[in-house]
Structure 1
Amino acid sequence: MEVKAIKGHHHVSAITANARKNLDFYTSVLGMRLIKKTVNQDDPSVYHLFYADERGNPGTDFTFFEIPPAARTHYGTNSISMTSFRVKDDQALAYWEDRFRQLGVEHESISVRTGRASMSFRDPEGQRLMLVSDEKNTGVPGGIPWEKASVPARFGITGLGPVQLTVSRSERTARVLTEILGFRETRSFASPVDGQKDIRVFETGEGGTGSEIFLEERKDLPGERPGRGSVHHLALRVEDEMELRKWIDRINKSGYANSGFVDRYYFRSLYFRDPNGILFELATDGPGFDQDEELESLGESLALPPHLEPRRIEIEQSLKPLS
């Protein structure tokens, strides 16, 4: 059964040990909008927070599962080792460099990475992040920054950029990206670590920053021990449920163990791991985050999918207020 090309990144989900501090950083410092305050559907005793553009468009979501006892991450291979955010142009990147300096955010200087101005930084829990200028970018369109954010819309984050995978055996993941998921390898660039192989670039759909995966092979690192500040999974965009069903059939025929169809209410999903242990999700563009809240009030109240609504009182009692 023929499948359509994956459209690009859908969302990235990471781990925090402190939802309140996490909320402060991603909204007050980064100016992203909290578009959904809900719970981990597999463990509704803890928060699942979604940050995105003005309406939570696919390709703009960075989400966090709260795991209060999570220890610090011991960085290493077989991990999603960097998530980047897109900004409009080089001028916006200069704004962020000055903002980070004023607010004491850990960051590096602006540099050029695979032809684009970029700046690495970290959140308070050590989450490995990067801002990427779209000044010379073409391809998957970005989102629209929320006009009520703490950052002027002119400089706001417009969505997810390249996501980096650091693995011990790159060919294993490269085969999954190209032979199973339909990505194409387009170029490579020098590793910032002496003696390591070049980092390979894969893209899908319309290409550009909203679709790119950087694949890094490292033989000098142990496997990562995830905790607070690590990434749980990378989700990729498929058009709708009909298309997702085709992808489920394709993944089944490939022989990879997978979750099968999962209804996350705001989108439909499939999960599977590649041979290096990277957890991928395929997620539909809809129905979207506004089916249980008005656009103007997204993220203001605790939202629960219908199957958890009967447990609302119990769930609310188990959660610490975020404000």
Structure 2
Amino acid sequence: MGLKEDILRNLNKRASSFEEVKKTFPYENLADILLHLEDQQLVKNEEGIWSITEKGKKKLEKGKTRVYNVLVVPAICFFLLSAYFYMGYTGVQEENTQLLQEKAEIEAQLSDTEKEKTDADAEYNAQLSQLDTEKDKTSQLNASYTGTEASLNPLQEELDYLICMEQCTPDHFVTVDNAYVKAKVDELIVGLTSLKQKQMAVYEFVRDEIEYDESSFRSGRLDFWEYPETILRRGKGHFEDKFILLLTMLRMAGTPSEHVRFVAAEVNGNDGWGWIEAYDGTTWWVLDPFEEYTFTDNPKEKFYKEYRVVVLWWFNDEEYKEGD
């Protein structure tokens, strides 16, 4: 995860001997990490000098924009993230303006429809007193009233949806009762018997089949979370989209809520980290649903010993909590 990328960045600046790398990254397993990176053709060793490969440089470029702290905790995080995303995505302001315009138009339509409903109610009540002589007109007003009521409901639902995308905490988006996502999970785990097999099946699906696309989020709100069905139908998403979909599918595959959660944390003083923690019945795992990782890469116990981890906040479908 972060350590491997830090080593690649260091070697991208200049080639170094093992001793020079060791000074910068004094870890006992540094040699194993370098060999692992060499197996992945991300670095190479020529006559004792370690240097980054072209594939390693591309890997750095691909992962450069990863940001994990997507929910505003203190106010300073909001401003740092706002500046980061402004520099990384030059079109976000235009998309944000469009979203706000759509919201304003829906609110205007809702206001007009509510006025129409009020007018229809008033006319309806006035005509009730003339029921005996104006039955035909009353029937027409009943139809108008019903049509106005029907048109109001979808507008209100759409407005509620947009408001929630701006204001709801991320646990709201873990929709474990969604039939569309559940059907995909059932397809993935058919014939599998153990919980771990099912967990690995949905993990590999999100890792391999949901394309990482840093431009496919919808701007105009601070948390950037979206519903799992939207992400699954689209087939791609930003890093937080892959996390929310994996969390939801792990729950649907049979993982109890107390055995899976999304974690945002500070690691070795860096507060831009996020991952999924899941328990398979015997072991807790730290999961990243991206192509360079596997399900069993990071046992939680080992990860928490190797790094200085401070949990900032976490959530699943039943709880959102700041701190551990």
Q: TM-score, normalised by structure 1?
A: 0.22
* More helix, by proportion: 2
Report which structure shows greater RCO (CA 8 Å, sep ≥6). Answer: 1
* More strand, by proportion: 1
